[in-house]
Structures are given as C-alpha cells and as structure tokens.
Amino acid sequence: MAAQIDLHCHSTISDGALSPQDLVAHAAKSGVKVLALTDHDDMGGLQAARKASSEHDISFINGVEISATWKRRTLHIVGLKIDSENSALKTALDKVRIGRDERAQEMAAGLAKIGIHGAYEGAVAIANQSILTRSHFAQFLVQSGHAKDVRTVFKKFLVKGKPGFVDHQWMTLEEAVSLINASGGSAVIAHPGRYDLGTINMLLLMHEFRSLGGAAIEVVTGSHTPPQFQQFAKIAHKFSLKCSIGSDYHGPGLSYMAMGSVPELPAGCVPVWDDWEEARHLT
Ligand code: AMP
Ligand code: MN
Ligand code: MN
Ligand code: MN
C-alpha cells in the first residue's frame, strides 16, 4: 500500500513545475493526507501551501531542503516542522540565495567559455523569479538545443568536471542542523543513497549528523531503489535515527516518483512523525 504521507516535494518557489496551491491540489487528488513542502533554500511557498492544504483536508508540515557542504560534497538537509518566521533561519537562507545567484553567474561564465552564451539570462527567464538552480540551466540548455533532454544535459554540462559546474561552498552541515533545530524543527538527511560516499564516509556522516542533533534520514525516497529502502532502514536503526518518506516530486514528468505512490516505510523503522500531532491519524 502507498504511504499517505509525503515529506519532500518542490513547487515553483524552487525548481518544481507546480505552484504551491496546484501542488497541494495534486497531492490531495493523489491520496496524500500529510504533506510537507520542501523547496530548495526557500520558505516562500509555505504560507500559500498551508492555506491550500486546509481547503483540501491535508495536514500541512512546514519544510525546506537546505543545501549544505560536508567534506567538500553537497548534501541536502530537509528541515521539517521548522518555524518559517524564525529570523536566524530566514537570514541564513537569504544568504544562500544570494550565493546561488553568484554561482549561477559563474556557471554561465563556464558555459560561455565553450560557446554557449546567455545561459544566465536564459535560466533567469525560466526560473521566473524563483531561486536559480541547476534545473533551470538544464531546461535552458535543452530549449536552446544543446542536448536532447535534462538527463543528458546534467551529464554533459552540469556535474563535476563539466563546463557549467561550479564547486560551490554552501553552509556547513553543522549550521544547517543547528538552524533547523533552533527553529523548532527536525533535521533529515535527504536521499542519502545519492551522495556516492562509500561505506566509511556514509557511516562517518551518520555518526556526525546524529552527534550534531540530526533526527532522521530519508529511507523511502524517489531517489532510492527498493533494496536501498532496506539498506537505509538498517543504517537508521544502527544510528538511532528516525526514518522519513518523500517523493521528491518536482512536477509532471519531472519527478522520480509520482505523488501518492510512495511505498510505506519498511517494518521496524521509527517514523520521523511518530510524535507529531499532525500525523496522529496515520499511526
Ligand atoms: P542545485 O541545487 O542548483 O545544484 O540543483 C539541484 C537540482 O537539480 C536537484 O534538486 C534536482 O532537481 C536537479 N538535478 C540534480 N541532478 C540531476 C540529474 N542528474 N538529472 C536531473 N535533475 C537533476
Ligand atoms: Mn530540485
Ligand atoms: Mn535533493
Ligand atoms: Mn528535493
């Protein structure tokens, strides 16, 4: 049976295709009962999503997906039940967004060196006032005929060693976890299977994250295969971390997993929502 909770998805506030309102309507239609919106480094959609949720009989959870750097790698840390009015969190995310803009300009400069001009302006036009992400560059590069699809674009232009990649310094893991905790939220490592860390670094990360006050890891996510659901359920248990579920939905045709079709947590997992009032009707 599919889970009725989805704690990771994106709207047009970051790189999703649906507005917060349309995303909530889509979630409701797909059978989701408890939903967190987790845009990249931006809490700007939470108010509208919360309002729409109340009209669709969905319990809404404030969320954000924070970009962080750990051992020179980019990690995504989801904050759940954060206070979107917390000034330290707001200020820190404002700073990340300024950094994103600078990074986007450097990415465009890298692409200009290989003869692709106007990528910054192109990405800005596609982003339509939302934050600038590699997804927007990918869409620009596809639309301007430099690759056949988004998948190919990432491989050719936007990953380490390629002309449009910039080794950006995000906030530290420690800062991300502290900001989330200080605003009353729970910190969750997003899609841990995607970081290509190797066994030792994966265990080091789990240990350090737990010591810093991290609460949970995503076990069931659109980025994991079913064997990885089991693998990360075991890791969560080993490090006394709770477990989360999220589609990482970005919009029709863009997501790894459709909303409303995300499997439930494997047996033995402690859900990150086990003490949440908003999710009491699920357990
Ligand atoms: P950024 O945070 O600007 O580095 O952008 C990262 C976003 O790009 C992710 O959240 C995904 O939505 C998207 N992305 C990253 N890698 C890929 C990939 N290989 N194929 C498609 N989308 C990707
Ligand atoms: Mn994204
Ligand atoms: Mn992510
Ligand atoms: Mn995401």
Question: What are the pLDDT digits (tens) for 18-54?
Answer: 999 999 999 999 999 999 999 999 999 999 999 999 9
- CA proximity to 217, closest of 75, 96, 45, 86: 75
**The two three-digit tokens of residue 28, written as one number:** 């409701």
Q: Which atom of ligand 1 is nearest to the CA of 250?
A: 12
Ligand 1 atom closest to the Cα of residue 153 is 20
Q: Which residues pair with 2 in a beta bridge?
A: 263
- Pocket of ligand 1 contains residue 135 by CB under 6 Å: yes
Helix and strand counts by DSSP (H, E) for the chain: 9, 8
Quick: pLDDT tens for 216-235.
999 999 999 999 999 999 99
Residue 191 Cβ contacting ligand 1 at under 6 Å: no
Contacts of 258 (CB under 8 A, 6+ apart): 30, 247, 249
Three-state secondary structure along 141-163? Answer: HHHCCCCCCHHHHHHHHHCCCCC
d(CA 53, CA 260): 15
Q: Nearest C-alpha to atom 16 of ligand 1 is from which residue?
A: 154
Residue 283 pLDDT > 70, yes or no?
no
d(CA 59, CA 67): 26
pLDDT beyond 70 at 122: yes
Given a cut of 80, whether residue 255 has pLDDT beyond it is: no
Q: Is 154 in the pocket of ligand 1 (CB under 6 A)?
A: yes
Ligand 4 centroid to 7 CA: how many Å? 10
**In this prediction, what percent of the chain has a pLDDT beyond 90?**
96
Q: What angle do CA 113, 115, 118 make, to 5 degrees?
A: 95
Note the pLDDT tens digit of each residue in 206-218: 999 999 999 999 9
Cα separation, 6 vs 68, whole angstroms: 22
Q: What mean pLDDT is predicted for residues 166-195?
A: 98
| Residue 96 pLDDT greater than 80, yes or no | yes
Indicate the SS3 state at residue 144: coil
Query: SS in 3 state form for 5-48?
Result: EECCECCCCCCCCCCHHHHHHHHHHCCCCEEEECCECCCCCHHH
